[in-house]
Amino acid sequence: MRSYQDVYSKSLSDPENFWADAAEAIDWVTPFSRVLDNSAAPFARWFGGGTLNTCHNCIDRHVDAGRGDRLALIYDSPVTSTVERYSYLELKAEVERLAGALASLGVARGDTVVIYMPMVPQAVFAMLACARLGAVHSVVFGGFAAPELAARIDDCRPKVVLSASCGIEVGRIVAYKPLLDEALARADHLPGRCVILQRETEPAELVAGRDLDWNDWVAAAQPHDWVPVEATDPLYILYTSGTTGRPKGVVRDNGGHAVALSWSMPNIYGVEPGETYWAASDIGWVVGHSYIVYGPLLNGNATVLYEGKPVGTPDAGAFWRVVAEHDVGTMFTAPTALRAIKREDPRAEQLRAHDVSGLRALFLAGERTDPATLQWAREQLGVPVIDHWWQTETGWAITASCLGLEPHDVRDGAGGRPVPGFDVRVLDEAGAEIGSDSAGALAVRLPLPPGTFRGLWGAEAQCRQTYYADYPGYYRTADAGYVDSDGFVFVMSRTDDVINTAGHRLSTGQMEEVLSALPDVAECAVCGVADDLKGELPLGFIVLNSGCERSYADVAAAAVAAVRAEIGPVAAFKRVVVVERLPKTRSGKVLRGVMRKIANGEAWTVPATIDDPDILDEISSVLKSPAGTR
């Protein structure tokens, strides 16, 4: 096995040759003329001059090489009691026909398509069909409310929206179609067509002249071949939370993405073609894009699309049943899912009921894995459990213990060592590098490796300002932490107003915008507080307008309902307290840090800059009162 240190050093000292070698794993139509073009720094362009097609690399080339009978996609849906298996040949047939259907609506290279769908195979076909045509997909997670969908539609202006009648949550059907209708009523941009997959669980009414029935539409289509696109052309836009209400559209290219994800499969995950790989995430998140869809298919693996939860579908043995039934070799999930399982089945009795002997490793990401959860999983599973750190922007892991390289030891509480290609540094406030074991801002020296974002959709100035302005020459991750003397990176917190709830990235600033707009609210603040299951949960503090006559409970309920309606259930915003005033500095800055400490029961001191120290005691007593009010 190759040495981590050698591979890592080469990736930084000679990135052009390193990534040119990795690019051999990809089928190019026209070879690239330049591996790295850094002339528009901070934006690096990888594999310029090269043309390829990502869908061809995910599907057709495996079929062309005689591997069409191999398993490509396993759809396992405990919520509908369905298991479906698609070979590469069958996947090709589905995707080429869907590409033809999209083309029949005029979708072509460079057009955008929004996919607002639950975890069904048609959603995966849709992503790949867009890639086949050179169209740019933007998948919107089902847990977002209509205004969030509308904001994304207005930002990326899709020619077509693909959706489904409903999604299925534990004990609840989520009617997607009314959410889509509401989003379109709010949006300024109107797509030419909406295509709706009717699910038996709850079909939807179609709007004549605008909506098409998915099955009829596909049945009438002819298969469409893949088209070559530039390596630097966009493959997808994926929106993620920033510090404001406006989501940021992270743009991924085709060439660098294909090369980086192909490289990652054997080197980070230690996965050989032909094995089954399972990322228990959602296609609405970056993990789902990279490791439910593109990474495993690029590498010729069978990938599992799981429409269910770690618990409740039907029990805490659900993950282990999937691992056993589909012979999963490598699995990837979020720590919160493991905590949910551990809480229901602490002695792992439901694990013993399944033969998971084929599992070789479990990877975790989305938030820092607390050592207790990591150790529990390692003891119960008896395989390496590897926390690795990444972001929507980077598209793949910044740090990990790379199973395909030696050594791949782990250090509990750390996200591993920097992955080849990522030059991770810790910086102080002035941007100077800090030595080992001292905390600071985590940054990556430019250029970023292939597969990372090529910018924000239609927002270059915002992109420069957000990621590249504070520390010239570096990418600002907005995470803070330290690197120990052995090179392990500990990612401890965000440096902005983003919190991580159940592995989902949420903006507290966005929640504050929703609360501020309520008629009774004079001022508000939202902080993330620690939660045993979800890692962090949002907690709202509101100050009422003078003369407000509604009860505190009414206002709190309205606040919870507003965040659910405006952002979505995924925000998990359920707790609000009413306070007399917010603690502020004398210059008027809200002291969220001390509020969070009080809410977490941590030791806190009165900040020297506070204008009114008494308010902190009030907050403390409000939080202790069962009603959460004065």
Contacting positions for ligand AMP (CB under 6 A): 240, 286, 365-368, 387-392, 415, 479, 491, 494, 500, 505
169 or 202: whose CB is closer to ligand COA? 169
Choosing among ligand AMP, ligand COA, none, which partner's interface includes residue 162 (Cβ < 5 to 8 Å by kind)? none
Q: Which does 391 bind (CB under 5 to 8 A by kind): ligand COA, ligand AMP, none?
A: ligand AMP
Q: What is the nearest approach in angstroms of ligand AMP to the Cβ of residue 340?
A: 17
Residue 313 corresponds to which tokens in the numbers above? 């579908």
Q: Which uninterrupted H or E stretch holds 174?
A: strand 172-175
Decide whether 309 or 592 has the Cβ nearer to ligand COA.
309
What, of ligand COA, ligand AMP, none, does residue 494 touch, CB below 5 to 8 Å by kind? Answer: ligand AMP
Closest CA to 229 of 57, 458, 444: 57
Give which of ligand AMP, ligand COA, none residue 537 binds (C-beta under 5 to 8 Å, depending on kind).
none
Nearest one of 598, 578, 428 to 607, comparing CA atoms: 598
Pick the closer one to ligand COA by CB: 262 or 281. Answer: 281
Closest distance of CB 236 from ligand AMP, Å: 14
Q: What is the closest distance, in whole angstroms, from the C-beta atom of residue 336 to ligand COA in the complex?
A: 4
Which CB, 198 or 495, lies closer to ligand AMP?
495
Which partner in ligand COA, ligand AMP, none is near 390 (CB below 5 to 8 A by kind)? ligand AMP
611 binds, among ligand COA, ligand AMP, none (CB under 5 to 8 A by kind): none
- Provide the binding-site residues for ligand COA, judged by CB under 6 A: 141-143, 167, 169, 174, 281-282, 285, 287, 309-311, 334, 336-337, 340, 365-366, 502-503, 534, 569-570, 572
Residue 335 CB, shortest distance to ligand AMP, in Å, is 8
Biggest distance spanned by C-alpha atoms of the chain: 75
Residue 613: CB atoms within 10 Å? 11
* Three-point CA angle 467, 468, 474, nearest 5°: 105
DSSP state of 16: H
Find which of ligand COA, ligand AMP, none residue 572 binds, CB within 5 to 8 Å per kind.
ligand COA
Judge contact between 500 and 366, C-beta under 8 A.
Answer: yes
- For residue 480, give Cα distances in angstroms to 15, 168, 489: 26, 36, 10
**Nearer to ligand COA among residue 167 and residue 255 (C-beta):** 167
Is 543 in contact with 565 (CB distance < 8 Å)? no
Give the shortest CB-280-to-ligand COA separation in angstroms. 6
Nearest distance, CB of residue 226 and ligand AMP, angstroms: 29
Q: For the chain, what's the residue count?
A: 630
Nearer to ligand COA, 35 or 179 (CB): 179
Tokens of 21: 């070698």
Q: Which is nearer to ligand AMP, 228 or 569 (CB)?
A: 569
CA gap 551, 61 in Å, rounded = 64
**DSSP codes of every residue in 395-429:** SS-SEE--TTEE-----TTS--EEPTT-EEEEE-T
Give the one entry of ligand AMP, ligand COA, none that residue 570 binds, where binding means its C-beta sits below a cut-off of 5 to 8 angstroms depending on kind.
ligand COA
Cβ 417 to ligand AMP, closest distance in Å? Answer: 13
**Closer of 194 and 385 to ligand AMP (Cβ):** 385
What's the closest the beta carbon of residue 387 comes to ligand AMP, in angstroms?
5
- Cβ 456 to ligand COA, closest distance in Å? 21
What three-state secondary structure class fits 1? coil
169 binds, among ligand AMP, ligand COA, none (CB under 5 to 8 A by kind): ligand COA
Compare residues 117 and 365 and give the one whose CB is closer to ligand AMP. 365
363 touches, from ligand AMP, ligand COA, none (C-beta below 5 to 8 Å by class): none
Nearer to ligand AMP, 8 or 490 (CB): 490
**Nearest to ligand COA of 57, 165 (CB atom):** 165
Ranked by CB distance to ligand COA, the top (closest) residue is: 142
What is the SS3 string spanning 587-622? Answer: CCCECHHHHHHHHHCCCCCCCCCECCCHHHHHHHHH
Region at 453 (left for phi over 0; alpha for psi -120 to 50; beta for the rest):
beta
Within 13 Å and on the Cβ side, how many CA atoms surround 133? 29
Q: What H or E segment, with its residue span, contains residue 61?
A: helix 61-62
C-alpha 497/C-alpha 512 separation (Å) is 10
Q: How far is the CB of 573 from ligand COA (least distance, A)?
A: 9
Tokens of 564: 């659910």
**Cβ at position 222, least distance to ligand COA in Å:** 32
> Which of ligand COA, ligand AMP, none has residue 334 at its interface (CB below 5 to 8 Å by kind)?
ligand COA
CB-CB contact of 271 with 297 (8 Å): no
Give CA–CA dist 596/622, Å, rounded: 13
Q: What is the DSSP letter of 369?
A: P
Do the Cβ atoms of 586 and 579 come closer than 8 Å? no
Between vectors from CA 442 to CA 363 and to CA 242, what angle results, nearest 5°? Answer: 80
